Amino acid sequence: MITDDILYLGVNDREIDLFEGQYVVPNGISYNSYVILDDKIAVMDTVDERKKEDYLANLEKALGGKSPDYLVVSHVEPDHASSIDAFLQEYPDTQLVGNAKTFQMLALYFDRSFDNALIVKEGDTLSLGKHELHFIMTPMVHWPEVMFTYDSFSKVLFSADAFGKFGALDSEEDWTCEARRYYFNIVGKFGMPVQTVLKKAMALDIQIICPLHGPVLKENLSYYLDKYQIWSSYEPESEGVFIAYASLHGNTAGAAKQLGELLNAKGCPKVAIADLARDDMAEALEDAFRYGKIVLAASSYNGGVMPFMEDFLHHLKGKNYQKRTVALIENGSWAPSANKTMREILSQMKDIQILENCVTIKGAVKEEDIKGLEALAEALMQ
């Protein structure tokens, strides 16, 4: 129960292994839906069809024999909208509420007409009785049809994918870590649209945030809004250095770890290290955005750079990576090429400062290489 007359209908998915076919979710995911019980009844979104039977059972119980008047569709992505057809089979008289793009995109997923539609735009309202729904267009957070709904009676913001996180609701885990990983991997590219939406949200009296994934947020809402402000502006969130390495025979890995030890010895607030060949790419991307300084350490490969590093850099570029200080370490026995390739990819990103203290290792790490790592650690601590 969210309030006396707003109920939670969502479900946990513990069977899913990869969210969106690419993100590891060891604690599953929740698909959230809500119902507002008033003179008119409005259901806020559906869930992934993977869990439609559980969802429809929750809905039937919440309705207590009544039928919904409206189904508000805030986001057409299948993890929220693929049960719409099953919903309408059960409640065929329900009027779908969405914006013009909502219905254009629903046609891409369903071979049926949506004649009983209420098309809304920015600033439109819908009265359910004492509850009044206000519709806020939020394009590219993170699809073009996305919209928020604000209930001015209960002061509840139904925020679509914003403020969501990985993890089923029955998992005990820190909100910030999995919300950060969720944000940067799924919404990260669209910082400017998120900033626009935050300005709209700041003008509302919000007491509760109901996202489409993760827990309902009822306390200390300024904390979550502040996190989104930092993330969407691409500013560093934490002091520290993130070291990401891709090593061919272990020598580059050794150099990366040795640099980490040097930074720790110099009092670096936090040193995070990722093996790009073995660790979760989404976690590595999260840490790259979290810290203001990043070290890329990679073996040269086929006249370029190790594929895992190249893939990581393209992930960063695709998520609009910017405003960071970057240091480079390369290894190459006869023709070091990793730094050149990494520089070329980094040059396509905005506001990236590459430190001059780049380190080139040829083969195993030797005494002169340790001196170079020491100088690099010193530069990173400035």
Q: Which CATH superfamily is domain 240-380 in?
A: Flavodoxin domain (3.40.50.360)
What is the residue whose two structure tokens read 């669209």?
190
Q: Minimal CA–CA distance to 39: which of 127, 126, 129, 125?
A: 129
pLDDT tens digit string along 114-131?
888 999 999 999 999 999
Spatial separation of the C-alpha atoms in residues 205 and 207, rounded to whole Å: 7
From-to residues of CATH 3.60.15.10 in the chain:
6-232
- Spatial contact of 314 and 288, defined as CB atoms under 8 Å apart: no
- Provide the pLDDT confidence category of residue 63 given band limits of 50, 70 and 90: very high
From-to residues of CATH 3.40.50.360 in the chain:
240-380
Question: What residues contact residue 337 under an 8 Å CB cut-off, 6+ apart?
Answer: 300, 301, 303, 304, 305, 330
pLDDT at position 189 is: 95
- Spatial contact of 30 and 13, defined as CB atoms under 8 Å apart: yes
Question: Which is it for the CA torsion 112, 113, 119, 125, positive or negative?
Answer: negative
pLDDT at position 116 is: 87
Spatial separation of the C-alpha atoms in residues 120 and 98, rounded to whole Å: 6
pLDDT at position 115 is: 84
Q: Minimal CA–CA distance to 319: which of 138, 227, 186?
A: 186
Length of the chain: 382
As a whole number, mean pLDDT of residues 82-98 equals 97
Q: Given a cut of 90, is residue 253 above it in pLDDT?
A: yes
pLDDT at position 113 is: 87
- Spatial contact of 246 and 306, defined as CB atoms under 8 Å apart: yes
As a whole number, mean pLDDT of residues 173-189 equals 96
- Percent of the chain's residues with pLDDT above 90: 97
Q: How does DSSP classify residue 158?
A: E
Angle between helix axes 367-380 and 251-265 (nearest 10 degrees) is: 50
Query: CB burial class (10 A; 0-12, 13-18, 19+) of residue 195?
Result: middle
pLDDT tens digit string along 125-155?
999 999 999 999 999 999 999 999 999 999 9
Question: What residues contact residue 363 under an 8 Å CB cut-off, 6+ apart?
Answer: 251, 331, 333
pLDDT tens digit string along 196-219?
999 999 999 999 999 999 999 999
Q: Which helix (H) or strand (E) holds 271?
A: strand 271-275
Q: Which CATH fold would you assign to the domain 6-232?
A: Metallo-beta-lactamase; Chain A (3.60.15)
Spatial separation of the C-alpha atoms in residues 299 and 279, rounded to whole Å: 17
As a whole number, mean pLDDT of residues 247-251 equals 96
Q: Given a cut of 90, is residue 178 above it in pLDDT?
A: yes
As a whole number, mean pLDDT of residues 228-256 equals 97
Q: Given a cut of 90, is residue 247 above it in pLDDT?
A: yes
Q: Given a cut of 90, is residue 110 above it in pLDDT?
A: yes
Spatial separation of the C-alpha atoms in residues 237 and 217, rounded to whole Å: 21
Q: What is the pTM of this model?
A: 0.94
